[in-house]
Amino acid sequence: MAQAMRSNSSVVSLFATDGKPHPLQDAFMAVTVVLGALAFITAFFHNLHLLSSWAGLVGILTGAYGQFISETTRERFLLILGLGASAVGFFLGMAHGGLFGGVVGG
């Protein structure tokens, strides 16, 4: 009858699987996912290489620090998705003109 003594918690949190709040980790996760999506989408437009490369670079940095401080599997999973999208956007933005392409005269 051990099953009858366990509490059945049917409430599943979207961000914290351990039942504790993680506001800093969730913020880094959300910023990384948003920047990754922005970098990935804008990377397919040649004239938006500045936006995609900078968003990708900042997304990579926030995702790396988010991985360093993450505490749950869900945070790490979404951070990896955001990091991957940021990296693809960053590299395609670099291939299309880079961080300063067309801005710095030379």
- Transcribe 68-87 into DSSP letters: HH--SHHHHHHHHHHHHHHH
5-9, 42-46, 52-56, 70-74: least confidently modelled range:
5-9
Strands (E), 1-106: none
Q: What is the pLDDT of residues 76-106, one digit of tens each?
A: 999 999 999 999 999 999 999 888 876 655 4
The span from the CA of 42 to the CA of 47, in Å, is 9
Residue 37 near residue 56, CB atoms below 8 Å: no
Q: Pick from 37, 31, 40, 36: which is nearest to 93 by CA?
A: 40
The tokens describing 5, both together, are 């003594």
Give the number of C-alpha atoms closer than 13 A to the C-alpha of residue 106, restricted to the C-beta side.
Answer: 5
The span from the CA of 25 to the CA of 65, in Å, is 9
What is the torsion angle, in degrees rounded to the nearest 10, for the CA atoms of residue 45, residue 103, residue 88 and residue 16? -110
Global model pTM greater than 0.85: no
The span from the CA of 87 to the CA of 56, in Å, is 6
